[in-house]
Amino acid sequence: MITFSDKIAFVKRAFGSASVDNSGRNVAVRCPSCGHKSKKKFSINLDNWRCHCWVCGLKGKTVLPILKKYKDSDDVNFFLKNFYGEKIEKDNYSLEKSEDLVSLPKGFILLADNLLSLDPDVRACIRYVYRRDLSESDLWKFMLGTAKQGRFRRRIIIPSFDLDGNLNYFVARGIDDNIRRKYLNANAHKKSIIFNEINLDFNSEILITEGPFDVMKSGKNTTCLLGSGLSERSALFCKIVANGTPVVLALDFDMKKKEQEWAKLLFSYGCDVRILNLGKRSDVGEMSKRELSDQLISAPVWNDNDRLKIKINSINSGSLI
């Protein structure tokens, strides 16, 4: 009979020094991918072998694909023989982070490469981004594009890349007011995506906005929620907490209640939080770059009194508390 002691012994054999939590069901080891300065941030559940790194996001439905990628064949064979049996098909397992392969829409072209295009739809897309206070350098930095035909025609395609430079998401925003669907997005799990991760430094304060056009308005260490929220299970939240990253929240006006709840959640994990004042704007996208820069400098540090004030102000006159 396989005991938890047997499983812990195997984890230590494969990954080195391990720390076991009070339940005896989870162990923490150094991540085989990022290592993260010798801290034990790679967690393995000994009940089901699910695993997850709180720093780099490496994870799997089982530990098997991580063993196959980072450890030697002896560890893989030992795991199969003792914990999954000889009949397990090894190829049935893959890293969760690779399950949803994202590719750019067919016919994608870079706007920066087509500034002199005679195509009226491409020129309309270029005019649209310029009206949004973006520059030619922004077109290159964020790899903005469009498609000359099909369902992505007359849409601004905004790609996102992970830490390794691999495409992990894209948003396609229509430039016309009369379209039925303003946004067409990549088919991927939003909570597992850190938008614009390739340009993020989690050792410095990060600005979190609601959408990708808001990200481009700032340009500096900024990501967005993609409408998925900021739960404890999201990749962005996990990485912020793991690194103790200070945060500035700059969400749309209609998300102010949620913004306060997320500020409280981040603060409870020891992260410093500031809240951007939108002034008379409904979102960051309506601000000029200069206006956003000024508001960032003056953004106040969050405390729980802010949340209570907003909650009280939202109560209708005459309501009973």
pLDDT given for residue 320 in this prediction: 46
pLDDT given for residue 272 in this prediction: 93
Q: State the number of CA atoms in the 13 A half-sphere of 41 facing the CB.
A: 20
Lowest mean pLDDT among 81-85, 182-186, 258-262: 81-85
For residue range 234-288, list pLDDT tens digits in order.
889 888 888 889 999 998 888 888 899 999 989 888 889 999 998 888 888 888 8
pTM over 0.85: no
For residue range 122-149, list pLDDT tens digits in order.
999 999 999 998 999 999 999 999 999 9
For residue range 86-106, list pLDDT tens digits in order.
333 333 333 344 445 789 999
Q: What DSSP designation does 82 have?
A: I
- The domains of the chain, with CATH numbers, are 4-98 (3.90.580), 100-188 (3.90.980.10), 190-321 (3.40.1360.10)
Strand partners, 44: 27, 51
Angle between helices 304-313 and 256-268 (to 10 degrees): 160
For residue range 47-68, list pLDDT tens digits in order.
888 899 888 888 887 888 888 8
Taking the C-alpha atoms of residue 2 and residue 158, their distance in angstroms, rounded to an integer, is 50
Taking the C-alpha atoms of residue 235 and residue 53, their distance in angstroms, rounded to an integer, is 10
Task: Count other C-beta atoms under 10 Å from residue 130's C-beta.
Answer: 13
pLDDT given for residue 97 in this prediction: 43
Among the residues of the chain, which ranges form H helices?
Answer: 4-15, 64-70, 73-79, 120-131, 136-141, 212-218, 235-243, 256-268, 289-298, 304-313
Q: Are 29 and 46 in contact (CB under 8 A)?
A: no
